[in-house]
Structure 1
Amino acid sequence: MCTPVRAEVEVHVIAIGKGRQTDDFYALPESRVLVDRPDADVALVLLDGGETHWRIETTPETRLVEVIRGGRETGNSRVTLSGIPMVGVATPDLPLVYKPVGVHFRALLTSLTRRFGTDRIASFHGMHRAGSAPLRVDRLDTGAAALSHDYLATQIGRTDDLPAALRDRPGATDTVGHTLTFDQSGITLTDPTGVRHFPVPDTVPPVLLPAASVHDPASGMIYALTYGGVGYIYGVDGRTGAWRVVAALDDYDASGLIFDPATQTLITTGAFSRPGDIRTFSLDGARTQVFVPTTRLPGLTDLFDYGNEHSPPLRPHLYRDGWLLASATADPAQAYPDATRFRLYAFHTTTGEVRLLAYGDD
């Protein structure tokens, strides 16, 4: 019989999608585990894809104080400790994950750290199929930052050398006083002077998939971004209605766009699985490009099901002295700073350096 859980319990998580089939085809596939943690109180969290026989063994002086079962179909699995059946605590809302990354892993970690009153789990082991040898639980994984509940607190970047405008962390680009609607027919600008529509002329490539648009009130120019096919950045003169192609994107899919009047530069962020594909387009023709992989953006994978869906886009806010301020939110209907789950970054558009400035996980 399991003894009550102590405050200093080590929580070890094992995720195995499918057990190993034995010679007895009427028996459940097996997942074997050996726990070798002498003088430690150990809680095992067993996650499986259903219909698994967990065969647990412990070394002398290892104290197994609790077994929790989770995953897809906990009712079809069983657990034995040294051949003796155990009931364990079935917790079907614990998701089956194979790597310590992604929104489902963070939900798992939050649930377990709250349950056991700890800041981190002791180890995580994940595999799609059990092997013939027992999986050994014999150490504390102190090097994996992601096993801590609030691991991002140690990854906040410095700000003292950033441009002052980025340190102030504005919530959005300044669109006060006007709105833009961009679709395949053209662009509609609504401002204090009224509503004006600028239809797409035959003199520029047709708009395939509209992505974003920005207005520069000082010059009266509107810039619009499309993706799919070649992709273009269009410039529209708000005074004359004349359209032109500012840049052909050469099959680059972008999602976010801002304009920096001081440097006459357009800045874009990538779409789909490449949000960190950041490019600048000066009106004089100069370009820069830098790519930051999703896994190098601290905490971004916490906001989505990494490996199974695209990342939320990076929304650009401000560009100063080569630094771009951009944010990502878990809910596309929310925007920083009003979003409850967000990441705010500073990117250097030449070197590719990225810093996490703020985050929220409420």
Structure 2
Amino acid sequence: MTKGQLVLETGEVFSGEWIGYRGECVGEVVFNTSMTGYQEMLTDPSYAGQMITLTYPIIGTYGINHEDSESDFLQVAGVIMNDLCEEPNHFQSQATVTDILKKHCIPGLKNVDTRSLVVAIRKHGTIKGKLVLEKPFPDYKHEFILPDAKKLVRQVAVTSMVQTGAGSCHIVIIDFGFKKSMVHFLVNEGCKVTIVPYHYDMEAIEALNPDGIVISNGPGNPSELQIYFPKIRSVAESFPTLGICLGHQLIALAYGAKTEKLLFGHRGANHPVKDLQTGKINITAQNHGYVVNRESVNESIFQLTFEHVHDNSVEGMKHKQLPITTVQFHPEAHPGPRDTTYILTDFVQQVKQLKEEYLWEKV
């Protein structure tokens, strides 16, 4: 078995056995605490540019299937785990984790002390790392150069318009790195869904005659996407709009708020979020390293609707006059608990109601 190492920019080195593509890579080292859902994580565009540490002790037990991927490709820069199962046992299994890592040219390490690695990440904050084949020269100088958000989004977003579904309600997704489960949910709610690249201009979006807009999740630092803030605000003020994860942050930034980086992010399927209107606690699926700064939100324009129970960070907002809603978590919950799927259901119902009212006004 080929030996490899994860070298952190802070100097720590974690050894393991090489899996997947035999090529070195650099990425932001993050961790996810979910017990299941490794296929969804590896294919989630929000992980572009990142090396994901899977903290559950054994990965791959139920294999890989053709149904649960969030995109057509593995999006992570690399993957780090403890034990890897090479003989999965599940009726839907069609490949192993090793198979898809090799197919998509993604490197990784197994038999790593992931507990110690997570302790290091929590100590230093999210840090850059490099996966390297074992070197004969321990004093080798490593470089940790990562792409910016514009490049990451360009890497994961669609390059041309995509349409699916045949419902009477037309939802346009502005794609910064959407998840397929989001589209599946909307189609199952009776929507026609059109996915357009993040750089689509306002006139082209208006020409599609949408009933509602979803601004998707995606990778990178949201403040690096400032060139798109004016368009996002214009779109949100023209159509009923839902922002999810990165989309939530972009809407906040478009209205003058600020974002800040969390020490080590929220990534997992068990994050408690409080509904500030009802006091109810929902368990949510999350994957983000940035949050909206609470003090920077103009509360004469936006009402805060959700907050994270652990650190009180902003998890949702609602415009006080316009049909604009945002959530930091993933309401489609794939993978994860389905406590907040009502967010998407309520959005679709709102869009349908507003469309009906508009049609009556024209009669």
Give the shorter-chain TM-score range.
under 0.3
- Higher RCO, 1 vs 2 (CA within 8 Å, ≥6 residues apart): 2
Say which structure is richer in strand. 1
Taking structure 1 as the reference length, the TM-score comes to: 0.25
Say which structure is richer in helix. 2
Structure exhibiting the larger radius of gyration computed from Cα positions = 1
